[in-house]
Structure 1
């Protein structure tokens, strides 16, 4: 299909940055992040487009997607990688931390998927890959809020995928295990499994899903578990 246009939300670090790097050589990439200096550094490194976008703001998400659509005329795929960590017993989390986690992981995911599907449906083709977490498949002590918000995203994706009624617009999700990323640095080694994948390794699976063509025999709702070196 030649060069295509992809939006990587949360593409300034970790898995999102690894996805943007894999795509940038052969495709048009727009990286969205909430820190202007980080967006500038990535766009300089990759020679790609970028924009400052706090996904907790619907207006910023709407405007960022509209800007990409105006610039390139089409959006072929979206990697929804933006996420914040919230570890610790619920009683130990500040109200501010609780609010920010819900705003980014739940509301932000909703806004990103809403705008992504708006553009993909208008074009009648394209792929969305939501980056979840293995935490949603099994309760794990110490991360009740993080798991709850990522479970929200997973449930939303499942419902949206079922509603597509066409293979031309695919809504998919991938659930990595803990990886050595900036988010993992904040988490601590206690949550890093003995067997794990690097962001660059998981990124190849994200890109594989993003590059699926409308006629490829993968239906909306593709669900990839344990992209962490085991499965």
Structure 2
């Protein structure tokens, strides 16, 4: 099939990093992250391109995509893995924490998909995979803000998939179960789930969707639920 170009937002840790690791052996990979030291560490480890980008900033997202396109001319697939954890009762969450979760999980996802589709439409093909959460499919006490922001992303993907009118541009979503990544640790929370999917396992499915060919039929808009025993 030849080497392709993939952009992984949130690719410095967790699922995003696992996706980048799977892709980099055979493809060109650009990793986006908002912490410069982490971006540098991943690019050194994988030998890929790294771009410092806070996805909650439209200007930074636009510039990041422009940098990748300027280097490689095309983008074959985009994995939207960037996310901020917001666990706990609404009453216990600070306004700053709520705002950041909305900025990254809702606005950031919107900016990523907006820019991704701009470039994919220009070239006439490509895949987008949004990483949601199993919690979207069933209400779970204790994570109202996180679930609401991921539900926003799921709804956005569904509408965008219907709007493409061509399966050459596929907009898909995958909802993994709880994964013991740094998502919770970054905000000072502990990972409490006893049943979970490993990031390396879920990454295989993300990569499969990213590599679907333009003429593979009937998958745009697909919602993949990776059942892991929790529900």
Q: Please say if residues 24 and 46 of structure 2, whose CA atoms lie closer than 8 Å, have aligned partners that are also in contact.
A: yes
**Secondary structure at the counterpart of residue 121 of structure 1:** helix
Q: Please say if residues 157 and 172 of structure 1, whose CA atoms lie closer than 8 Å, have aligned partners that are also in contact.
A: yes
Distance 1:4 1:189 in 2: 35
Q: Please say if residues 174 and 227 of structure 1, whose CA atoms lie closer than 8 Å, have aligned partners that are also in contact.
A: no
Q: Please say if residues 172 and 220 of structure 2, whose CA atoms lie closer than 8 Å, have aligned partners that are also in contact.
A: yes
Question: What 5-or-longer segments of structure 1 have no aligned partner?
Answer: none
Q: Please say if residues 129 and 174 of structure 1, whose CA atoms lie closer than 8 Å, have aligned partners that are also in contact.
A: yes
Q: Deviations over 1:33-92 (max 9, x none)?
A: 000000000001000001000000000000000110000000000000000000111111
Question: Runs (4+) of structure 1 moved beyond 2 Å?
Answer: 184-190, 226-231
Q: Please say if residues 178 and 184 of structure 1, whose CA atoms lie closer than 8 Å, have aligned partners that are also in contact.
A: no
How far has the Cα of 1:221 moved from its partner?
A: 0.3
* Equivalent residue runs for 1:153-168 within 5 Å: 153-168=153-168
How far has the Cα of 1:30 moved from its partner?
A: 0.1
Q: Deviations over 1:132-162 (max 9, x none)?
A: 0001111111100000000000000000000
Distance 2:228 2:114 in 1: 28
Q: Please say if residues 167 and 215 of structure 1, whose CA atoms lie closer than 8 Å, have aligned partners that are also in contact.
A: yes
Could you say which residue in structure 2 is the equivalent of 1:142?
A: 142
**Secondary structure at the counterpart of residue 29 of structure 2:** strand
Could you say which residue in structure 2 is the equivalent of 1:103?
A: 103
Could you say which residue in structure 1 is the equivalent of 2:58?
A: 58
Could you say which residue in structure 2 is the equivalent of 1:202?
A: 202
1:133 pairs with 2:133: yes
Could you say which residue in structure 2 is the equivalent of 1:91?
A: 91
Aligned residues: 229
Distance 1:42 1:218 in 2: 35
TM-score (normalised: structure 1): 0.96
CA RMSD of aligned residues (A): 1.4
TM-score (normalised: structure 2): 0.96
Question: What 5-or-longer segments of structure 2 have no aligned partner?
Answer: none
Q: Please say if residues 177 and 230 of structure 2, whose CA atoms lie closer than 8 Å, have aligned partners that are also in contact.
A: no
